[in-house]
Amino acid sequence: MSTPMKPFLSLDDQLARIKGRGMTVDDADEARRWLAAVGYYRLSGYWYPFRVRDPATLVRSDRFLTDSSFTEVIGLYEFDRHLKTLILSGMERVEVAMRSQIGYTLGAYDPQAYRNSALFRSTFNHDGWNHTADGRVARARGRDNFVDHHDVKYGGQLPIWVLTDVLDFADISKLFEGMRATDQRRISDWFGITRDPGISNNQKKKWNSRPPLANWLEHLTVVRNICAHHGRLWNRQLTPVGTRVITHLPGFEGIPPDQAEHVYMTICIIAFLLDTTSPGNTWLQKVGTLVHRSFSRFEHRTVEEMGFPNNWAALAQWSGKTS
């Protein structure tokens, strides 16, 4: 038998429940405004870490930590909102560059290279991907003039460098993963993602079978969707990124030795890719300023919850020092 659905609570009832469980609310009217504008359920994801954890079972109770405040929860929510804005800003430039590189690399073979299964790995679901791509084109008809133009003049055939602007970022990610190793390496090299000459032969084989950029794009696709749908990002467990073969690259100081699955890794990836797409950009400094200013005001939250190393501000990429 399923558990009965939770009952509806008025704003006053919601506020009473929060206060009854031990959270300090300094301004009841302001709290009601946040509950009405954002919602109890969405905000509960931000006050969840403030709930007391049983040391034996690690299960969180309904009670809040001593001195937990609604003000700090809102500060965390606002930090996450601003972080997602910065992430999307950095992602925009990375995404555009990725679309351009795939269009340029495959277009050199043939304008409609994506139709040729011989140009992709045998494991790639070529027919399935093309079916999805055709659906994206159909969705754009009547909305995007350049698609309508190709319908009239070229019978609906789109060259790859045009198609990439119609595809979702997830489609771009899957297309890159299906490309041959030589083409993947060409794009990876453009972004500066080079192999450490000292890695083992086994690691070289793994690099060829699935290069770091393929893993990065899968990770960034998930992050992009979270941001686009206004989900919680700051302490989210994300698609794991393998770290063992990229520690020689600049900007990845402080990452875990085997894999990372928090937003710190997302930030490192975007910052690295932006160094190629937008040399001299100040994106990482903006992220660092946001993190420092926000978390210096929090009593119960730490940057380690986002995967940041405790000495993050002293690392070369954050301090501005060259190694």
Q: Is pLDDT above 80 for 1? A: no
According to DSSP, residue 279 is labeled: T
Please list the helix, strand and coil fractions of the chain in percent, rounded to the nearest 5, in that order. Answer: 60, 5, 35
Q: What does the alpha-carbon distance between residue 29 and residue 136 come to, in Å, rounded to a whole number?
A: 46
Residue 228 has what pLDDT?
95
Residue 5, burial from CB neighbour count under 10 angstroms (0-12, 13-18, 19+): exposed
Mean pLDDT taken over the chain:
94
Residue 322 has what pLDDT?
46
pTM over 0.85: yes
The token pair that represents 278 in the structure block: 């937008």
Q: For 152-210, what is each residue's pLDDT tens digit? A: 788 778 999 999 999 999 999 999 999 999 999 999 999 999 998 888 888 888 888 89
Q: For 66-115, what is each residue's pLDDT tens digit? A: 999 999 999 999 999 999 999 999 999 999 999 999 999 999 999 999 99
- Say which residue the tokens 């467990």 belong to: 237
CB-CB neighbours of 42 under 10 Å:
14
Burial 181-209 (b: 16+ CB within 10 A, else e): eebbbebbebbebebeeeeeeeeeebbee
Share above pLDDT 90 across residues of the chain, in percent, rounded to a whole number: 83
- The set of long-range contacts for 307-311, using a CB threshold of 8 Å and a minimum separation of 24, is 307/256, 307/260, 307/261, 307/262, 307/263, 307/264, 307/265, 308/254, 308/264, 309/254, 309/264, 311/254
Residue 88 has what pLDDT?
98
| Length in residues, the chain | 323
Asked whether the CA dihedral 243, 248, 252, 254 is positive or negative, the reply is positive
Q: For 220-265, what is each residue's pLDDT tens digit? A: 999 999 999 999 999 999 999 999 999 999 999 999 999 999 999 9
Residue 178, burial from CB neighbour count under 10 angstroms (0-12, 13-18, 19+): buried
Q: For 265-288, what is each residue's pLDDT tens digit? A: 999 999 999 999 999 999 999 999
Q: What does the alpha-carbon distance between residue 57 and residue 140 come to, in Å, rounded to a whole number?
A: 51
Q: Is pLDDT above 80 for 321? A: no
- Contact predicate 179/103, CB 8 Å: no
- Contact predicate 254/309, CB 8 Å: yes
pLDDT band at 142 (very low <50, low <70, confident <90, very high): confident
Instruction: Give residue 227's identity as a one-letter amino acid code.
Output: C
Q: Is pLDDT above 80 for 323? A: no
Residue 37 has what pLDDT?
98
The token pair that represents 317 in the structure block: 């990429």
Q: Parallel, antiparallel, or unpaired for β 51-53 and 60-64? A: antiparallel
Residue 250 has what pLDDT?
94
Residue 197 has what pLDDT?
87
